[in-house]
Chain A
Amino acid sequence: MSYRLPARPRARFSYTRWQQRFAPYLFVSPFFILFLVFALFPLLFSLYLAFHLWSPLDGLGNWKFVGFENFALALGAQDLFWQTLKNTVWIGLLAGVPQHLVALPLAFVIHQSLRRYQSTLSTILFLPYITNAVAIAIVFATLYSERLGLLNYARGAFGLDPVRWLGDPGMVPYSVAAVVFWRYLGWNVVLYLSGLQAISEDVYEAATVDGAGRWQQFWYITLPLLRPMMFYAFTLTIVGNMQLFEEPFMLLNDGGGSGGAGLTTAMHIFNTAFRDLDLGYASAMSWLLFLAIFALSMVNNLLFSRGGER
């Protein structure tokens, strides 16, 4: 007995199989199309511009090659770039360091002893994070008002002299940093809370059995196991604070207040690009700021990779 194998049907075009193969490419394509148009091409263009002198009023093609002149100008002493970078880092430290010094213990306390209220507390603390920066800057500007503000009114009640919160160049960084601190504290608490939740209870139980006290548990268990989350939270703070724009811009106007003490690099770049229309120079500065952010992230990375288990 022998069968003849039936002739194998010729591979026909199958819509089902065809769309199964190509659907994923179609589904992910919007990102890449948008990236090409709105990110890749513009990024390369801005890098190109950084070596040129150009204003949008000159029209496309009429840029003048100046080599590294833009960068040299920014890094030289006669421009504001260094000053604004100093301002930015100083305000960033004033806002960022207390943020984590408060957020971490606060999250720890909530996680340990007030766990039942955790989601309510998170919601309350998270509110500032979602508010509109412009709206909140106006509220703080009224609080800071020199003669009429609530803060100086409160100081007066204790017999203290009024402070020029937004008028005294030495005071400005603190006033701006306070708003930034206020806005992002809750976000950091929420981050740390979720980090704490990820730590297994077994570890604490074992430590309790071994006789470790509350402080020992915090130092030898919580902190080390929270490292990845701390790294993440620090990174976000650094990257965010280095680009600080809206709060000082609203509180102090585009000049950065008296003495320019609140002029951040982001504001300076904005002014150069969109007020003075010197886009080549502004591009060069934005790339320098990018390098500064990158360098600080690397330092952060080093701090966290050294001495840790991983």
Chain B
Amino acid sequence: MTSTPVRAAPVVARPRRSLRGWRRLPLWLLVGLVCFGSVVPFYLMFVWASHPGSEVFAFPPHLWFGSALDDNFRSLLQITDGKALRHFWNSLYIALVATVTTLFFCSLAGYAFAMYRFRGQRVLFAFILATMLIPPLVMDIPSFLVMNNVLGWVGEPRALWVPGMANAFGIFLMRQYIASALPRELIEAARIDGATEFGIYRKVVLPLIRPILATLGVVTFVGAWNNFKGALIMKLSEPDTLTLPLSLRRLGGGATNANVDWGAIMMLVVITVIPLVIVFLVASRQVISGLTSGAVKD
């Protein structure tokens, strides 16, 4: 199955089955309602972040933007001892390193499984797929033990990104794409021209698999950016090592506490969410089609 299914002939019978004109109104209402529900929490967090903290719970509630954005930002810096941007950077650093290393190792392995014939290939690939059946939760305790008692990485950012650098899902996604999108002749031609094996990967394969790199890149970035439990377990809990999710938990935990500055918290919420929304909106079409092409059985 290719990544972007190409519909062959123009569909003739479709108009008979689809509703037209005003008869679509109920559909639009239904779909509109669900979309509204999807978007409203985002809207609210921006509204709240722009009002003074004391008015997040105002009666009647604010439904439009206020003018306290900069006040809230200053207050956020104050209650985090000026570390809010540091936490942003920690998250960004971990997410970027995770993304780059994951793309490199997964595409390399995916390429090997798609384009080489080697002894043990099928067994090794089946093994990688089988590891996807292990629920992540079962890994929490053992990986903490390795980090804590063997490697001593607890409290360090690398505890979050090293274990996932070469992961089964990424390798599978890459293999599926490369096997269907790259012709084997291309690799042969490069060989005849005298390229080294790694050179072929770097100069021929990498540029041609950009779409699927974008998909896996966004997924990895979002996953690493959102990694709350991992940061909690690996104790990235010093003021200087906090990532955004943990920083948010620090400020907004015990949710309905009225003594906290809700304006500042909502500001941090917005800061946490904006990069996700940007990254996703830029690549959403590619991400969705790439993900589902890997999801559908091959």
Contacts and interface: CB of A to CB of B under 8 A. Distances in A.
B19 A113 contact: yes
A142 B291 CA distance: 33
B137 A269 contact: yes
Contact of A274 (B56, B144, B225): B144
Contacts, number: 287
Contacts of A124: 35, 38-39
B17 to A, nearest CB: 6
Q: Which of B48, B162, B197 has the most CB of A within 10 A?
A: B197
B166 A134 contact: no
Nearest to B149: A60
Nearest to A18: B197
A138 B143 CA distance: 28
Contacts of A141: 252, 255-256
A286 B296 contact: no
Interface stretch (A36-44, A72-80, A299-307): A36-44
B139 A228 contact: no
B228 A134 contact: yes
Interface string A132-149: 111111111111011011
Contacts of A136: 41
Given A201-B11, A204-B17, A134 B145 contact: no
Given A38-B163, A253-B253, A279-B145, A24 B116 contact: yes
A32 B165 CA distance: 11
Contacts of B265: 138
B105 A30 contact: yes
B141 A135 contact: no
Nearest to A23: B197
A46 interface: yes
B12 to A, nearest CB: 7
Interface stretch (B68-76, B82-90, B273-281): B273-281
Interface in B187-228: 191, 196-198, 201, 222, 225-226, 228
Given A191-B292, A208-B16, A132 B244 contact: yes
Interface residues of B, number: 104
Interface stretch (A2-10, A89-97, A239-247): A239-247
A141 B111 CA distance: 45
Contact of B108 (A30, A128, A194): A30
B134 interface: yes
Contacts of A32: 124
A66 interface: no
A166 B255 CA distance: 10
Contact of A186 (B27, B38, B285): B38
Given A23-B197, A273-B144, A290-B135, A232 B109 contact: no
A34 B296 contact: no
B138 interface: yes
B102 to A, nearest CB: 10
A18 to B, nearest CB: 10
19 contacts: A23-B116, A23-B197, A31-B105, A38-B143, A45-B146, A46-B145, A110-B31, A114-B24, A115-B18, A123-B288, A131-B276, A132-B244, A135-B248, A138-B248, A182-B41, A208-B16, A243-B135, A245-B229, A246-B228
Interface in B90-113: 105, 108-109, 111-113
B121 interface: yes
Interface string B9-27: 0011110111100001001
Nearest to A128: B38
Contact of A289 (B12, B14, B137, B284): B137
Interface in A35-83: 35, 37-39, 41-43, 45-46, 49, 56, 60
Contacts of A23: 112, 116, 197-198
B141 A283 contact: yes
A114 B57 contact: no
Contact of B131 (A19, A39, A150): A39
Give the 10 A-B residue pairs with the shortest CB-CB distance, closest first.
Answer: A42-B142, A141-B255, A194-B292, A148-B57, A23-B197, A27-B112, A24-B116, A46-B142, A38-B163, A31-B166
A142 B165 contact: no
B262 A35 contact: no
A185 interface: yes
A273 B140 contact: yes
A85 interface: no
B148 to A, nearest CB: 6
A28 B148 contact: no
B57 A134 contact: no
A232 B132 CA distance: 14
Contact of B269 (A123, A138, A290): A138
A132 B135 contact: no
Contacts of B136: 243
